[in-house]
Structure 1
Amino acid sequence: RGRLITASQHWPDTYPVLESWFEDSDETVAALESARSPTALTRAMWRVLEGRRAHWAVVIARNALLLSAAGSTHTDEFLAVAAALKDGRDLKKTPVMGFICEQSIMVWMDRRDVPDGPFDAPPDMPFASSPMAPAPGTMPNAAPETAGELAKLLQPAGLTEPWIEGYLTGICTAPIFVTPSDWLTPLLHIVGPSLKTEKKLTHFVDLLMPRYNGTVAKLRAPDEGLIPADIPLIPIWSDGYLTAWEATKAYWPAKALRPQGKTIRNVLEQATEGRIDPSMFRAALPAWLRERFAEQKM
């Protein structure tokens, strides 16, 4: 187990989605704001993480399942670290927790937007390339994709961009906010087997982040198109949406959907069979999607 935990030091290089792992709760902000020196800053962050030990053990274990579904060689490392955290291993001796500690402080510093102040980065904490924190309801963006990149990764699984757009729209309009691990895991069960290398798997996850954020942006903009304009693409989009609905069913309580939700479900199911009601897809469905997004519970 010790060897596997040491290997976790290289996770940020081999699994870039870890760049979105950080603490940004009110408790975190209060602890960091009260620090009066770089050393106190780090000490305060470790105290917060100790109180969140169980949370990070669960996050890491869930990601082990995600990697297992995709056939990754890092699964055992994630499981070993999750077990070690649960067993009480010293957080400071667990490299990935050191990464999360540093990342959390970097995000806090970015949000304070103070380029020169009393909290210059300690020499053992590489703050120089800190990522910007995501806006509420969005995920940290990776590098912008070039034309056709995502389509190329989807093709071996028999999927297309309209399908993934439907899937992400479903995720973003679930009555309850769906955590990234809970919508990535089922998606990787579908796409993962066709991504033969770990590099492709990582790149696929990276490309999903800006797509997810783009979906959120469209749902917030009243004039943005949410559904493909080309009628032949609507069944594909609808299938992606329904896949998200089924894959994350715990986040879709019937009470929150109300009777209209059942009507919309029937419309989408009929669309996957080629029975499309254009008026529903032009007006009623986009309005329902934006309503669902606006009412989503965190």
Structure 2
Amino acid sequence: MHARLLRDGARDLLRDPTGIAGIVAVVLDPADEASGKAAASLLASALDEARMAAENDAPEGGALLDAVARAVTGWEADRPLEPAQRLRLAQTHARAGLAAPPFARLTADIMAKSEAPSGDMPDLGALLDPILEEMDDAPLQVHAAFSELLAGLPPELAGVLISMTVGRPGKVEARLGLYWLLDPNPDLRLAAATALLSRAEAGTLAPELGALLPTLRKWLPDDAARAALDGAIRRQMRRGGPPAAAPASTLHRAAASLPDGAGAQSLVAALQTGSRRGVAMMMLKQGHGVKDTFVIPCTSATEQKQTFVRILDEIETFDISPDMLAGALARGLGEGLASGRMPAPGIVDLAEILGPDALSPAVGDAEAILEAIGAAGVLADLSGTRRTALLKASADWADRFEQADSWFEDTGALRAAIARARTDKGRETAVWKHLSTRRAWWARQFAVCAATLKSAAGVDPALWLSFAAVAQALLEGRSLKRIPIMTGIMAMTLEADAARDDAVAPIDGADPADEIAALLAQAGITDAYLHGYLTALAITPQEPSPQDWLGGLLGGIEFPGAGALDRLMGFVVFQANALDEDAGDPETTIRALATFDADGLRHWATGFDALLTVTRRYWPARSLAADDKRVLQDIARAAKGAEGETLRRVLPSWVAQRHALRK
């Protein structure tokens, strides 16, 4: 019940983030311990929803993250954040799987200004021992709890604490080192690998844990951490002697869902190692690899069976073979390695159970999946009529599979494109244009479905072949309109867009601020995008006409009436005037940019570049120096995803200079 209430509250905040400021205030200054914990739990859940939305390019994610940053900035305007408050915010972000944003980090300057003594290292025992006492039999939970404590610390200090932790003599501490080898932060990976090397040199690394190192090495990028791990592996090999015989492991049952509309696939396995039983939960996500992995311990075979069945009752799944389970995980590992994303640390425990050779990263694109399941050969042997029939069978998928209800597209850019269209035909064209850029994504989605259903017990073989045929047709460039499921995805995308518009349509008596936020979100305009757009307006060498700059911003929004248009125009003009006043003050720009994380800065740059595009004639080349042109090029690159931290440092003074020249 508590978890459901948290989830529902978090989703409400994602839809309408206006209440997040009050929650942030309680996290920063709780009336008592209970209210502080409750607010932190709700904030972490809301941030988790925002993370997932942002991963899927839904603008609500960025809007909620921006709202949190605004709330913290508003708090800081009245009083500086204490280090403990920054760490509290960092921990809530870490719990949601997010890196600590700038306002939640302790920098050297902040620590130097703190009244607390900074010369002494924290008492590691005081930090770690209570966690170990509470969770000694759950190392993965120890890792999660301790990682939350480290969130927000300078990487150098966090790395030292990890080295000290892994260097302690306990077996749990060594396993924590294996988990930290998979940390997204390369500095923390290096700290863990170096500490494991020290243990290997000292002979304090248990053989059964040392035996896992070659497997983990396959999951790491070629960096300093892997080089240090190579040293640990060599030390273990020179020490000689086989590891102690591990208890036999058994995979009693495995099941998999089809991937949902975000590309997330759930895997479940009932496992036993010796007398210990558990149910493993895994999530793979296209573009992200192995997103989550953990094992739920069970005290008996009965509890294990009940847990497994309860999970299967929550989502449509298909029983699969152990080989299919390992193959899916291997493809997830390969996809993560190729995209620079580390797998979830819990996969260390699965490697121990499934064996060192079961989880070697494998190529995970659509072609490789179809090749692995033998689809190409089977389809090649079929007549053209039979292959066409398999494609036509995709028209029935929505009625046959529960997950197909979520197979539609929803991104900020697509929302804006749909909103710009003035006819049903135009809206369909916008979706088809978007889908044409997503061929490879949907081909892999359906290849995963084919692999799952081919391995599934009691499933008609025609089903997996139908998915394989559609995946192959997408790869071969067949017209999307001649593939029934793609026509269905187009229609469902428009239905979802219309349903969302109905949900956010202004009603009589609605708060104007809520209405404005809904209209901006509908067009995929985040706070960061708007700030960048209006910053560019404030420093345009020649003042553009309102028709040019307002049209470029509001042209993608479908208004429910003239009143809504007037209110939004009034809001935007007010914001433009306020930002024009602030643009000459570098400190104000520094504070504003500090509220944006890397994605937020990309949105800011996208907004800036959008204004530049629609007002190009107001930026004559003779008015721009070489340095100005360089900065504009850097902004354009940041809008396309290039690293932006150097730009973040340059912008405040540059914006002030350009603003002064315009004046």
What interval of TM-score do these two structures reach, taking the shorter chain for normalisation?
0.3 to 0.5
Of structures 1 and 2, the one with the larger relative CO (CA 8 A, separation 6+) is 1
Q: Given the two structures, how large is their TM-score scaled by the length of structure 1?
A: 0.47
Q: Given the two structures, how large is their TM-score scaled by the length of structure 2?
A: 0.22
| Structure in which a larger fraction of residues adopt strand | 2
